């Protein structure tokens, strides 16, 4: 696991390429990915269809009939040499979560594994400051770093066939807010009534890579109203000073 | 308002177009037609731009009824056949259908996906820039879902006074040629032997195949000491992941946008439509090509579509002899394979 001394340009077919900065989960590495993402988008390069920032690399999807690969590589190298990581500013959000019970069916189990109480796990999970490294896989799937190692928990041997949208879970040293119902091998600590991706809402997405998240434990009695508000397009997450 | 009413359909019936771009950074994959070439041909037969939204049908056919006004339709892909009030149409032709007429699309005969295009396209509001259904994201399609019996698909106004069209030349078949790939982005996670296995052995399309991708069965591809877990990175359409089992997974239109298995290679864009049409049990091989060859293949595909468009003639003006119909059928591979 490392940061490459020079970013690697990797082939992903004729309609995409990947610029890889390293292969670790590291905020500085991720910040470089996001800075290059911003630079490529601002450059409006002919043939670039869209960019997909991930933990550690930028995938650039292209129209092979228009895109000039060689020209892009040299342009991208220039952009990388001049990257201003400090220019990338995320926002900070407070995200409501109902922990435990039917909302987080693995809370007790995680507590037991770490020989603590459920409320210890909630305290630790909700006092962390998480970085949004990537939104990927499925719509609104928000991958977070910053989990307190005291509650890091290796993934389940048997993934669950379905977990609900909005699930707040942990897997290894990562944390996640699920944007849609999917199978998952992560541990379900709670659920947020917020909807991270909603096509009918403008903007469709709540979070962007580089944002920060804090979780705010709320009582289950607040679920119904907040969820209804979210379904009507209210973000219900709160922008707070960074 | 003229509508195409869905009387009955299979579960894999959805509105698709070229797909939706710009939202992969938020986890929403492009979706879009699995076989863009067939969709384009159907659209050209009814006078539409090639990427106009059409009805995609997976494996099973469907039954429709026309309401309100006349429509012009064409069906292309997977050897599918359309009947209007029980009369079978010649393949690769468009047809004008009157209100009240019954349109029956049979099941696939040689492939996976069929496309029903309608002159003018569907008058459905695009969502995030596209009408294509992304089912997990509940975006596009009919209010975020697939087509269901009872749906009324509104059709945009179109000039259908011109003649119905037919495609005169059978398309060249490349069915038995290997699927072309470019190695990478993680070819360095495999041993030399692993790469050789991938490029020389046969792989069989399994039944675990859908709009998300194709699971292949065949000789395991050997990872090297770096293992088979990577820190998740981007997945492109055509990405070939190799999980711990060593059996490859080809990622297609409804794929996740990121994933944690190393990707040995990527199917080139010119072969996306062809691989999407392969049915379970089909054996395939992969061959590695350079970027230059891949780009040239993409250009050739566009040129072939242009010559297809230029070759369209009014129905009846062609010599639709029984030999020619037979040639078209053979070329479409009707009845040759199990579906």
Percent of chain B with pLDDT over 90: 86
B133 and B11 within one domain: yes
Q: Are A33 and A50 in contact (CB under 8 A)?
A: no
Predicted ipTM of the assembly: 0.94
B interface test, pick of A23, A33, A139 with most B CB neighbours within 10 Å: A139
| pLDDT band, residue B334 (cuts 50/70/90) | very low
Domain that holds residue B95: 3-165
B190 and B53 within one domain: no
* B115 located within any domain: yes
Check A140 against B27: CB less than 8 A apart.
Answer: yes
* B299 located within any domain: no
| pLDDT band, residue A70 (cuts 50/70/90) | very high
Give yes or no for residue A113 having a pLDDT over 90: yes
Q: What is the mean pLDDT of residues B22-28?
A: 97
Check A52 against B258: CB less than 8 A apart.
Answer: yes
Q: Which residues of A14-35 are buried (b: 16+ CB within 10 A; e: fewer)?
A: bbbbbbbbbbebbeebbbbbbb
Give yes or no for residue B180 having a pLDDT over 70: yes
Closest residue in A to B241 (Cα) is: A12
Cα distances from B97 to residues A209, B2, B84, B102, in angstroms, run 50, 11, 8, 9
| pLDDT band, residue B336 (cuts 50/70/90) | very low
* B315 located within any domain: no
Check A204 against B128: CB less than 8 A apart.
Answer: yes
B100 and B40 within one domain: yes
Check A15 against B238: CB less than 8 A apart.
Answer: yes
Backbone φ and ψ for B137, nearest 5 degrees, come out as -80, -5
In total, how many domains does chain B have? 2
Q: What is the mean pLDDT of residues A110-127?
A: 98
Chain A contact set for B184 (CB, 8 A): 10-12
B41 and B158 within one domain: yes
Q: Give ∠ CA A230-A232-A236 in degrees, rounded to 5.
A: 30
pLDDT score for B302 = 96
B154 and B14 within one domain: yes
B189 and B151 within one domain: no
Check B27 against A143: CB less than 8 A apart.
Answer: no
B195 and B151 within one domain: no
B126 and B8 within one domain: yes
Distance (Å, whole) CA A32 – CA A37: 8
pLDDT score for A1 = 58
Contact map slice: B 117-146 vs A, CB within 8 A: 127-128, 134, 136-140, 144
Q: What is the mean pLDDT of residues B143-158?
A: 97
Give yes or no for residue B319 having a pLDDT over 60: no
Distance (Å, whole) CA B31 – CA B329: 29
Instruction: Among B165, B187, B205, identify where a domain stops.
Output: B165
Q: Give ∠ CA A213-A216-A221 in degrees, rounded to 5.
A: 140
B158 and B189 within one domain: no
Strands B249-251 and B283-284: unpaired
B188 and B153 within one domain: no
Distance (Å, whole) CA B68 – CA B1: 6
Shortest distance between the Cα of B149 and any Cα of chain A, in A, equals 24
| pLDDT band, residue A85 (cuts 50/70/90) | confident
Q: Are B79 and B332 in contact (CB under 8 A)?
A: yes
H helices within chain B, ranges in order?
36-45, 192-200, 272-276, 291-311, 322-332
Shortest distance between the Cα of B235 and any Cα of chain A, in A, equals 8
Q: Which of B134, B184, B259 sits opposite A10 (nearest CB)?
A: B184
CA atoms within 13 A on the CB side of B334: 14
- DSSP string across B210-252: SSSEEEEESSPPPB-TT-S----EE--TTEEE--TT---EEE-
Give yes or no for residue A15 having a pLDDT over 60: yes
How does pLDDT run across B88-140, given as a tens digit for each residue? 999 999 999 999 999 999 999 999 999 999 999 999 999 999 999 999 999 99
Instruction: Among B122, B137, B165, identify where a domain stops.
Output: B165
Give yes or no for residue B338 having a pLDDT over 70: no
**Secondary structure (H, E, C), A60-85:** EEECCCCCCHHHHHHHHHHHHHCCCH
Q: Which of A15, A61, A139 sits opposite B27 (nearest CB)?
A: A139
B139 and B223 within one domain: no
Instruction: Among B138, B165, B192, identify where a domain stops.
Output: B165
What is the side-by-side strand order in the sheet with B249-251?
B283-284, B203-209, B213-217, B249-251, B239-241, B263-267, B179-183, B286-288
B156 and B10 within one domain: yes
Shortest distance between the Cα of B293 and any Cα of chain A, in A, equals 9
Domains and CATH numbers, chain A: 3-87 (3.30.1360.40), 92-240 (2.40.100.10)
| pLDDT band, residue B339 (cuts 50/70/90) | very low
pLDDT score for B228 = 87
Chain B contact set for A37 (CB, 8 A): 25
Collapse the DSSP code of B203 into the 3-class scheme (helix H, G, I; strand E, B; otherwise coil) and give the result.
strand
DSSP state of B20: -
* B322 located within any domain: no
Q: What is the mean pLDDT of residues B155-172?
A: 84
* B37 located within any domain: yes
Cβ partners under 8 Å of residue A169, min gap 6: A106, A163, A175, A176, A178, A184, A186, A187, A188, A189
Query: Which residue carries 């595909």 as its tokens?
Result: B301
Closest residue in A to B259 (Cα) is: A137
Q: What is the mean pLDDT of residues B230-255?
A: 95
Shortest distance between the Cα of B239 and any Cα of chain A, in A, equals 7
Provide the sign of the torsion angle of the four alpha carbons A150, A152, A158, A164, taken in this order.
Answer: positive
B165: alpha, beta or left, given left = phi > 0 and alpha = psi -120 to 50?
beta
Distance (Å, whole) CA B244 – CA B226: 12
| pLDDT band, residue B229 (cuts 50/70/90) | confident
Q: Is the Cβ of B100 closer than 8 Å to some Cβ of chain A? A: no
| CATH number reported for the structural domain that contains residue B251 in this entry | 2.40.100.10
* B306 located within any domain: no
pLDDT score for B171 = 57
Chain B contact set for A206 (CB, 8 A): none
Q: Which of B21, B22, B137 sits opposite A139 (nearest CB)?
A: B137
How does pLDDT run across A206-235, given as a tens digit for each residue? 999 999 999 999 999 999 999 999 999 999
pLDDT score for A86 = 82
* B30 located within any domain: yes
Q: Which of A13, A24, A199 sits opposite B266 (nearest CB)?
A: A13
Chain B contact set for A64 (CB, 8 A): 269, 294-295, 298
Q: Is the Cβ of B184 closer than 8 Å to some Cβ of chain A? A: yes
Shortest distance between the Cα of A117 and any Cα of chain B, in A, equals 31
Contact map slice: B 225-284 vs A, CB within 8 A: 230-239, 256-259, 263, 266-269
Q: Are A103 and A163 in contact (CB under 8 A)?
A: no
Check A199 against B236: CB less than 8 A apart.
Answer: no
Q: What is the mean pLDDT of residues B289-314?
A: 96
Q: Helix A69-81 vs helix A27-43: angle between axes, to the nearest 10 degrees?
A: 130
Chain A contact set for B230 (CB, 8 A): 23
Shortest distance between the Cα of B81 and any Cα of chain A, in A, equals 33
pLDDT score for A158 = 80
How does pLDDT run across B202-212, given as a tens digit for each residue? 999 999 999 99
Q: Are B8 and B116 in contact (CB under 8 A)?
A: no
pLDDT score for A200 = 92
Give yes or no for residue A90 having a pLDDT over 50: yes
- Cα B107 versus chain centre, distance: 15
B interface test, pick of A14, A26, A53, A231 with most B CB neighbours within 10 Å: A14
| pLDDT band, residue A144 (cuts 50/70/90) | very high
pLDDT score for B170 = 57
Question: How high is the mean pLDDT of chain B?
Answer: 92
DSSP state of B165: E
* B328 located within any domain: no
B interface test, pick of A36, A68, A88, A136 with most B CB neighbours within 10 Å: A136
Distance (Å, whole) CA B226 – CA B219: 20
């Amino acid at each position: 696991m490392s940061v490459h001394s020079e970013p690697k340009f990797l082939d992903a077919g004729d309609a995409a390429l990947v610029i890889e900065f390293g292969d670790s989960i590291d905020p500085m590495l991720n910040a470089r990915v996001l800075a290059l993402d911003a630079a490529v988008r601002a450059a409006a390069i002919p043939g670039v269809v869209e960019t997909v920032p991930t933990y550690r690399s930028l995938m650039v999807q292209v129209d092979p009939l228009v895109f000039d690969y060689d020209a892009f590589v040299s342009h991208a190298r220039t952009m990388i040499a001049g990257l201003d990581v400090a220019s990338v500013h995320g926002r900070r959000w407070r995200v409501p979560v109902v922990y435990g019970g039917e909302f987080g069916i693995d809370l007790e189990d995680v507590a037991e594994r770490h020989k603590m109480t459920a409320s210890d796990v909630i305290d630790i999970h909700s006092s962390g400051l998480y970085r949004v490294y990537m939104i990927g896989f499925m719509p609104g799937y928000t991958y977070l770093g910053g989990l307190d190692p005291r509650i890091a928990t290796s993934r389940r041997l048997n993934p669950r066939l379905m977990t609900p949208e909005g699930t707040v879970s942990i897997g290894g040293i990562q944390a996640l807010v699920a944007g849609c119902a999917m199978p998952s091998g992560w541990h379900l600590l709670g659920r947020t009534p917020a909807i991270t991706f909603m096509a009918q809402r403008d903007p469709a997405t709540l979070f962007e890579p580089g944002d920060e998240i804090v979780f705010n434990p709320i009582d289950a009695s607040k679920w119904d109203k907040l969820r209804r508000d979210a379904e009507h397009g209210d973000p219900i997450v709160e922008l707070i000073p960074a | 308002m003229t509508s195409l009413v869905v009387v009955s359909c299979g579960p894999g019936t959805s509105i698709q177009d070229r797909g939706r771009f710009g939202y992969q950074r938020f986890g929403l994959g492009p979706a879009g037609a699995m076989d863009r070439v067939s969709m384009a041909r159907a659209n050209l037969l009814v006078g539409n731009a090639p990427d106009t939204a059409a009805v995609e049908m997976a494996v099973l056919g469907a039954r429709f009824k026309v309401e309100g006004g006349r429509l012009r339709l064409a069906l292309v892909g997977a050897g599918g056949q359309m009947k209007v009030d029980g009369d079978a149409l010649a393949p690769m032709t468009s047809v004008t259908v009157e209100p009240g007429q019954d349109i029956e699309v049979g099941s696939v005969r040689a492939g996976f996906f069929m496309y029903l295009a309608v002159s003018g396209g569907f008058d459905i509001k695009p969502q995030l820039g596209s009408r294509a259904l992304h089912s997990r994201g509940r975006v596009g399609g009919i209010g975020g879902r697939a087509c269901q019996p009872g749906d009324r698909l509104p059709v945009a106004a179109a000039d259908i006074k011109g003649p119905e069209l037919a495609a005169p030349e059978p398309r060249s078949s490349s069915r038995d040629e290997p699927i072309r790939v470019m190695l990478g982005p993680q070819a360095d996670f495999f041993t030399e032997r692993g790469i050789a296995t991938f490029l020389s052995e046969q792989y069989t399309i399994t039944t675990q195949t859908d709009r998300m991708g194709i699971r292949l069965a065949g000789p395991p591809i050997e990872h090297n000491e770096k293992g088979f877990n990577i820190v998740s990175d981007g997945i492109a359409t055509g990405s070939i992941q190799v999980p711990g089992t060593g059996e490859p997974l080809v990622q297609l239109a409804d794929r996740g946008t990121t994933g944690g298995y190393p990707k040995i290679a990527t199917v080139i864009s010119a072969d996306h439509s062809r691989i999407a049409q392969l049915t379970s049990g089909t054996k395939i091989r992969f061959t590695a090509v350079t970027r230059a060859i891949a780009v040239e293949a993409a250009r050739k595909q566009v040129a072939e579509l242009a010559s297809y468009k230029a070759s369209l003639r009014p129905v009846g003006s062609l010599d639709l002899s029984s030999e020619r119909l037979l040639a078209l059928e053979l070329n479409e591979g009707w009845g040759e394979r199990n579906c």
